[in-house]
Structure 1
């Protein structure tokens, strides 16, 4: 394989070296910031032997090369274009110039939530294991594992504690990530988030009951009466508060000398942000969050089939735009408000659907390069990572992508009508059932069967018809 020659072809297909702003790579892909993505010759690019696919996301153009080979291609790419080696953060910053205001807002949410996903997904998986141990009727009639084997009860209790920690202290995780994204101190962000779930505050999950009983304690100062309420599981309060914290800290840092920085900036930043949060930000965003959640739940309660059809069918296009990240905040809000999310189960099924369509292409095509890419990307999608299947295979041929949307929409209707929920965001794809509430397993498995079969059959049949016509 002539890596140098093929890399030159890649550069040419990207619109020439003048079109490349910055470049880095990950384990399998070149990650590029281009001046003008419209100059990319997609057909020429994907006809190059070393290229296994390409796609654009969050202002970055990514070229799928493959593990090991990507290092060699990147070395030649840097030499040919003269852009110099860059870090992933540098490429991200360069790529932001290609985004419009809405895309930048979506990317900001993605930058905040993606770093904390490992903790959330792990919590979801552990909750699934806890469900297996504590759910009645799974292994024994009307009894759970810990009812029959009482020696497992304490183990289940420990697993539940470990699983719940990420959600109990979710504002702390978001505070850290949001403060980092907004340019503030990560440590102060953590303290701010933990402050919102301090044990001295009324737990947010008991607020409604305490309000009915008239048992909500308050602070009284300067003529104000502020309820002493925590924000467990809430997203909006800590997001807005972290933004304010970062801006206050930046304002003070520019005006306080280094000699007094430690004594003045952190205490005043935290004090001011804390007061503003409890007086205004918390109550206002808490009300907004509950209003939006109630509206969302109301729509799905009133017309569940329509909700399942729209979200189940259109989730994959949301991934293309990057807007799917905005629904992470909705998932967290649903979990905090109603004890589970009915959106995430549809996401898991959408992942499987994309994998099934890609797998059908693997069996239908005679192109060996496409076979290899379709097989690996379908397995990846079945395990929850859909981008290789979507961008490398399904969108390239279009009909597999639409077949996956159809299967996902049908399954979305069925599981939404049945009220399937997950207590947390968990592992995507086929292992997702571990993170689904055990009482919904039968209907979720039905949905899983639909997204395995429907996209596969539609894609395979259309592929065969097209191949006969081309022959």
Structure 2
């Protein structure tokens, strides 16, 4: 199906005309604009355009949700209508970054580092969930696991566990690659840096914290602990920044003819010494303090912590501030083998999907029904963007009721100290939850579905009969 030129013209007019557009690009579902002045955007008129499924501003970009497949055609027509040159997402992001304040830039930086490695982490989480089903006692057999009853599955389980644990075991390597790339250095050096920090000759950092005496290098009279940073996040992040900084600086001052012999060796050597002498020990202390703090919060204020975190998670997503919590999840998993945050966060996915689904039953508009149904399914599978921006934020009250439902569901999850790993969101997320917590987790899931659905349905029937 083609895209009507009139629809694109209406979009352009609603966002302030072509003179208000600096650059435009698109992703899988959205048109992305870097605008001169977002205050002139007529959101109400924009979202009445038949092609538009929602809109929002995030990280200095104004984004208009069109839909997968259709957005490619819409972008081509947009270039024709406006006379703009085709821009990449990176170009639009770079221009949009200039509008961000320092805190927003930090949040975006963390997102740029951790989002590229999420596929590996999510895959690892799903496989760990599969293995949990195989080794969890009482899942299918009273007091026994699947591999206890069916011993022929033991080898299969061990291989699955090895594959699943690889991403977490070599996490510094993944972060090193992504971070150095984001900071403008060579990704390959980032991988080497990350693997260097978990070299098998080094004592595991978690084991080191339990020891009174540590193996050391004698560096001209200075004792340097031979500690690795397996699964740690902060040491490799800061070391990656230093490595990229040194590499870029050296490339400016070292003649081209000898750069291959000088730049990488010197940058890696200096960063390695700095990492083991200063960066690693300091950041390990900071990371340990953060882990202990989160554990204490959920240990002493579990219900309140879960209520607040699940309740505001949708707001964090809207502002892009949810990305730092990925690093926190990874830090917890590395330190204690699980996270309390992910199981709580998933309640927000489910609640947003439920509120959008309720809107499908409320509205009489055929287009809105279709959008509500498809976006709710997407949210139930862990992708909340279409539901939030296409339906719930657009009408406001479904978004609020989803936050309320998520808060109460998150409270139940946190009160019972439900443990899990990072993985897929939405309804399939139970695969990432330890099986011995499934009963209470499923109860919370039901709450995350029922509360937003009923509140949205009743409120819409009473207050918005014209929908």
Question: If the length of structure 2 is used for normalisation, what is the TM-score?
Answer: 0.98
Partner of 1:22: 23
Partner of 2:444: 447
Which shifted more, 216-225 or 405-414? 216-225
Segments of 4+ moved more than 3 angstroms: none
Q: Deviations for 1:111-130, whole angstroms, at most 9, x for unmatched residues? A: 00000000000000000000
Query: Contact 1:241–1:281 (CA<8 Å) still a contact in 2?
Result: yes
Q: CA deviation at 1:82?
A: 2.0
Indicate whether 1:465 and 2:462 are aligned: yes
Indicate whether 1:326 and 2:359 are aligned: no
| 1:84 counterpart SS class | coil
Partner of 1:208: 209
Which residue, 414, 417, 421 being the options, matches 1:416?
Answer: 414
Question: If the length of structure 1 is used for normalisation, what is the TM-score?
Answer: 0.97
Partner of 1:303: 301
The number of residues matched between the two structures is 466
Which residue, 263, 266, 273 being the options, matches 1:265?
Answer: 263
Mapped to 2, the partners of 1:308 and 1:347 lie a distance apart of 9
Query: Contact 2:298–2:417 (CA<8 Å) still a contact in 1?
Result: no
Which residue, 343, 346, 354 being the options, matches 2:344?
Answer: 346
| 1:225 counterpart SS class | strand
Which residue, 433, 436, 447 being the options, matches 2:433?
Answer: 436
1:9-88 equivalences under 5 Å are 9-88=10-89
| 1:421 counterpart SS class | coil
Query: Contact 2:10–2:49 (CA<8 Å) still a contact in 1?
Result: yes
| CA RMSD in angstroms, aligned pairs only | 1.2
Q: CA deviation at 1:191?
A: 0.2
Partner of 2:178: 177
Partner of 1:235: 233
Partner of 1:95: 96
Query: Contact 1:245–1:269 (CA<8 Å) still a contact in 2?
Result: yes
Indicate whether 1:124 and 2:121 are aligned: no
Query: Contact 1:3–1:72 (CA<8 Å) still a contact in 2?
Result: no
**Structure 2 unmatched runs, 5+:** none
Mapped to 2, the partners of 1:76 and 1:379 lie a distance apart of 29
Q: Deviations for 1:321-354, whole angstroms, at most 9, x for unmatched residues? A: 1110011111111111222100000111110000
| Shift in alpha-carbon separation, 1:28–1:223, aligned structure 2, 3 A | same
Mapped to 2, the partners of 1:291 and 1:27 lie a distance apart of 39
Mapped to 2, the partners of 1:101 and 1:373 lie a distance apart of 36
Mapped to 1, the partners of 2:67 and 2:317 lie a distance apart of 22
Query: Contact 1:52–1:369 (CA<8 Å) still a contact in 2?
Result: no
Mapped to 2, the partners of 1:233 and 1:144 lie a distance apart of 28
Mapped to 1, the partners of 2:301 and 2:101 lie a distance apart of 33
Query: Contact 1:425–1:435 (CA<8 Å) still a contact in 2?
Result: yes
